[in-house]
Every structure is written in C-alpha cells, then in structure tokens.
Amino acid sequence: MSLLTSLAVAVALAMDAFAVSVSTSASLGRVTLGHYVRMASVFGLFQFAMPVIGWALGCSVRSWIEAWDHWIAFALLLAVSLNMLREAFFCEEEGECGGDPSRGVMLLVLAVATSIDALAVGLSFSMAGISVWGPSAVIGVVCAALTALGVRLGSALGRTDLLGSKAAVLGAFVLIGIGVNILHEHGVF
C-alpha cells in the first residue's frame, strides 16, 4: 500500500476521533497538556492497534464483526453522550460528577467507539494480503495528530462565549450525531 493511500485511509479513519476530541474538549473548560497527551496517545494507540487486531483475526470472524461493529460503536457513543447530558443538567458545581472524558473508562470507551471501523480495515488488509504494520503506524500517527488538533479546536470553542455552559450539551449531541451517521453509513436507515 502506498504512503498516499495509507494517509488517505488514516485521515478517513481519524475523522470520528477528531470530531469526538473537539466535542469533548469543548466541555472541559480549561484544557491542559495532560488532556492533549492522554487523548492523542490513547486514540492514536487504538487506531494503530485495531487494524492489527482485525488483520490478525482475518476472515474467520469478519461477518460477525461487520454485522455488529456499527451497533457497538453507536451504543458506546450513546452511553458517553447520555453521561455528558446527565452531567450538564444534574451537576451543579464544576467537577461534582467527575466526568473528565480524557481519563479512565470514558476515554477507553471513546477510543474503542472511534476505532471500531479500523478493525474492519484491518480485516480487509488481511483479505487483500496487505502488510498491516506500515499502514497501521500511519493510521495511529495521523489519528494522534488530528486528535490533538481537535482538542485544541475544542478548547478554543469551549472558551468562547459562543458556547458557554452549553458546550457539554452540544458535545453530547455531536457524539449522538456521529453514532447515527455510523448507523446510516452501514445502511441501517
């Protein structure tokens, strides 16, 4: 696979991670270097690892993964969105609910949800006889870079008076929209 093709695939796969990083960081308030590092490294790592896992699985579980991957991604994004909405409407004081999306389980859920499509790409690499290591490295690095860019953009949007306290609500609806789009792309409706 050529570098240009690998870059194109990487950018396409990283768009969900970019959108999620924008929406979640907009709701954080003050974004620190730790937010950048955690989100970019975990999203990049998952985007690197999922094609490798898909490639290793090969054709044996392809039909099962393709039948359920979009539903899994939708459910994970919906769960995170509902948690963001709960925090936006029911947490009176900042930090009361402890919902930093760049930490812990929430970060892992977001990383899995945005990288499931990379698993399917790895399966296709296996079927086509393409070595997975080079393209997966490109996918991981591009995702990490676009995630960091998304955190920066989300941070800037979150600090403006344009969004104010509604950033978490907007972020939740963006995540739901991404999930609905995933279902639409897979022909659910």
115-128, pLDDT tens digit by residue?
988 988 888 888 77
pLDDT > 70 in the chain, percent: 89
Count of positions (residues) in the chain? 189
Q: Residue 83 in contact with residue 109, Cβ under 8 Å?
A: no
Query: How many independent structural domains does the chain possess?
Result: 1
- Per-residue pLDDT at 164: 55
What pLDDT is stored for residue 43 in this prediction? 97
Highest-confidence segment of 30-44, 74-88, 162-176: 30-44
Mean pLDDT over 51-70 rounds to: 79
Q: How far apart are CA 158 and CA 184, in angstroms?
A: 29
Residue type at 177 in one-letter notation: G
Cα 108 to the center of its chain, rounded Å: 9
Quote the mean pLDDT of the chain: 85
| Phi-psi domain of 130 (left: phi exceeds 0; alpha: psi -120 through 50; beta: other) | beta
| 7-31 pLDDT tens trace | 999 999 999 899 889 988 887 878 9
Segments forming the whole domain that contains residue 101: 3-185
